[in-house]
Amino acid sequence: MRAEAISPRRGHDVIQLLIGGIASGCIYGLVALGFVLIYKATEGVNFAQGDMMMLGAFIALGCVNSGYLGLAFLPGVLLAAAVMGGIGYGIDRLVVRRIFGQPQFALVILTIALGFVLRFVAGTIWGYTPLVLETPYAGQAVRIGGVIIGVEDIITILVTAGLTLLLWLFFARTRIGLAAQAASQNQLAAYIVGIPVRRVNSLIWGLSGAVATVAGVLYASKGAIDPNIGLLGIKAFAAAVIGGFGSLPGALLGGILIGVVEPLAARYLPGGFSQMSPYILMLIVLVTRPAGLFSQIQAKKV
């Protein structure tokens, strides 16, 4: 009788772990989407994507929280996304474009350095003490049977699913999205047929900045933020690798896999496995499917 009484509770605990893990994984997936967006357009990797998420979260905090601009939540988030879109556009226009034509390794070094700069800027403006974003659904929860689900987790999952679908449609159905993919295949050929390659690249960087802001707001709705949350970009990079660079659904799936594995490893495995689990999972995928679960690597057309 005692085992029968405990079993349902354990089942509820596992379900809550899974839902919380999926919500956290959605945030990893959104940051991974930023990696994939830039990779699909330029075949480069922006290692400052996590720090762009961090900066977007702080800008949203500055727009929404009382004591700063104090806007309503949704208009404040939209304004922050627009500001980060402009910052992303400016980063490509003023910084990344200066190394146009250089080896991809140059972009890696540049974006790593850019991440340090963004962390320093955020620390200088907002300090290093953790801050909390004021959201209209803070502390709210929904009970389904014996499972309690935070409203922030539900919103995170729904927003991530909707945004992933919109980005997929953007690349599959819009002229700018198709132009970005053509430019990544062969920039010279795209330029010859009239595609404004540099402008398209800048627009994609701006879009990745806006997506990073959404990820930052969703992260901030689940807890406090400080300049070091940009290091979450390392897990997001692992998610992009697991899903396969170039695949938007793959980036989301990779993030969800990491988000689910982490709490389960923390609950049922010895200490330390939770921190290592994303990278163990990435290594397993690289060994079994080197191009990722949803590889979209194709031969370039010349």
* pLDDT over 60 (residue 130): yes
Question: In this structure, which amino acid lies at residue 187?
Answer: Q
**pTM (global) more than 0.75:** yes
* Domains identified in the chain and CATH numbers: 9-132+151-283 (1.10.3470)
* pLDDT over 70 (residue 297): no
pLDDT in tens, 203-247: 999 999 999 999 999 999 988 999 999 999 999 999 999 998 878
Confidence (pLDDT) at 7? 54
Distance CA 161, CA 20 (A): 15
- Which has more pLDDT, 73 or 301? 73
- The string over 201-221, giving b where at least 16 C-beta atoms fall within 10 Å of a residue's C-beta and e elsewhere, is bbbbbbbbbbbbbbbbbbbbb
- Which has more pLDDT, 218 or 4? 218
Q: Which of 7-11, 100-104, 142-146, 269-273 shows the lowest per-residue confidence on average (mean pLDDT)?
A: 7-11
User: Residue 147 phi/psi, 5° resolution?
Assistant: -105, 130
Confidence (pLDDT) at 1? 36
Residues 6+ apart with CB under 8 A from 218: 26, 27, 30, 152, 155, 156, 159, 160
pLDDT in tens, 49-59: 999 999 999 99
Confidence (pLDDT) at 173? 85
